[in-house]
Structure 1
């Protein structure tokens, strides 16, 4: 009788554990399904596309006064607004330091990151990226008083060369200006000030950006030094890892806008706007 009772108790215990285990699996499945909810559907449901950027990189993203109010504008901002319109939602842009733009994706604070970002191999390991939407040449900004001195990469040996912290320009300094001293700075305008003052000998920046800052600062110029261009330096939109369906949809929209000439138009219009803002 004790044996029978013991067997019954054991069976009851196993049944109870199995029941508990089944409940646990359902909870896990539910959690997994929630996490894997399609990002595109979630954005459309919310009606908002949350965008992370670093608005210090005219003409792609910068601040200007519109109707007496400070506003974030730029080619990248026009692009995300066009994307949001295609998706039937509104773009909500947040300004932050460039080296925290991608971190905001990991933390779930933004849906996309757009800030003249290059899809490097290292970044692709952690994020999804759209197709490239703009491939800019890279240049060096120097003070005009050094134009006869800084005429080659070798001339910048042991010199302080600035690049925005967390940007592709840091890699350009490391690989193409190996004998120079890399100085990483969070904001591009701060680098411009330092080149003006002489605490930086030069800075690496995308050509369209350089043209805007040179226009605003008559003591500066683009150095007559060629830097090698690469597809790795082209701009793309960053997405959270695994956003495959969203990535496909964005690629379709980017191709459409590119085929229509809209992206080049955004860059041109905002280059003009940045120059106008600098003169006001």
Structure 2
């Protein structure tokens, strides 16, 4: 479950405003309002839904070889492809660093952002979000050699615990493993390597993601350590502020797909694909 900090979002917003230097605040607000009001119509007219993601979070978004070509796939990608289909357009997915996924909305480079993003209070101040489409639990990954050592939150005191930079897992480490030393790392696979090598004692990640990496790395395991669930941890699609029409349309599609069990199916199918790709 991912969370860009309020500071990063604010800096991204300031950067966007600076790039528009010289415009009055009233004209900027008017332009932004007009853009978001026409967003759904513009997407349908263009025939393209521009999607921002960070494809390093299997089974939600990741790279794999399809017919000899590298391709971005995952549960989130299946979801946006179905959304695009129901809107009568084609999804155009752009892979970027997670730290820039939400900033791409402010910069007008994408229509929506989907990357296992949590709709936190801080983010809602800068962006609109759809209803939650998936709510997974969080777990701690450790090296099996530490199975009898890391058995509780207290046992991680003064230990180095990794979390993806800009993610909600950073807050989980700060608030639930308070005495641990947070190590923020940009890519989840890099954290896995460090836990494997012993340079990190543990890492916090979403359960489905953890299961994929543990399956691929026999020296790792999910620790028997409970983390408190949070409503902030559910996944939602991020939209530019003021995207009421697009938000309403996406919520209808998400509800329909959840009622049909499609999103759980996307997660299961891509979990299996991620495991197969790692063989």
TM-score normalised according to structure 1 size: 0.88
- Whose Rg is larger? 1
CA contact (8 A) 2:37 2:242 kept: no
1:1-280 matches, within 5 Å, as 34-35=34-35, 37-279=37-279
Q: Cα deviations across residues 37-68 of structure 1 (Å, max 9, x unaligned)?
A: 41100100110000000100000000000000
CA contact (8 A) 2:36 2:243 kept: no
Q: Cα deviations across residues 72-126 of structure 1 (Å, max 9, x unaligned)?
A: 0000000000000000000000111111111111111000000000000000000
Q: Deviation at 1:32?
A: 7.2
Question: Take 2:210 and 2:29, find their aligned partners in 1: how far apart are those partners?
Answer: 51
Q: Secondary structure at the match of 2:102?
A: helix
Alpha-carbon spacing, 1:36–1:263, altered in 2? closer, same or farther (3 Å)? closer
Question: Take 1:28 and 1:162, find their aligned partners in 2: how far apart are those partners?
Answer: 40
Query: Relative contact order (C-alpha < 8 Å, sep 6+): which is higher?
Result: 2
Gaps of 5+ in 2: 1-26
Gaps of 5+ in 1: 1-26
CA contact (8 A) 2:216 2:278 kept: yes
How many residue pairs get matched?
A: 253
Q: Secondary structure at the match of 1:78?
A: helix
Question: Take 2:244 and 2:124, find their aligned partners in 1: how far apart are those partners?
Answer: 13
Residue in 2 that maps onto 1:7 = none
CA contact (8 A) 2:61 2:77 kept: yes
Q: Cα deviations across residues 158-194 of structure 1 (Å, max 9, x unaligned)?
A: 1111111111111100110110011111110011011
Question: Take 1:227 and 1:28, find their aligned partners in 2: how far apart are those partners?
Answer: 43
Question: Take 1:276 and 1:145, find their aligned partners in 2: how far apart are those partners?
Answer: 26
Alpha-carbon spacing, 1:29–1:217, altered in 2? closer, same or farther (3 Å)? closer
Alpha-carbon spacing, 1:100–1:29, altered in 2? closer, same or farther (3 Å)? closer
Question: Take 1:29 and 1:185, find their aligned partners in 2: how far apart are those partners?
Answer: 36
Q: Output the aligned Cα RMSD.
A: 1.6
- Deviation >2 Å, runs of 4+: 27-37
CA contact (8 A) 2:64 2:73 kept: yes
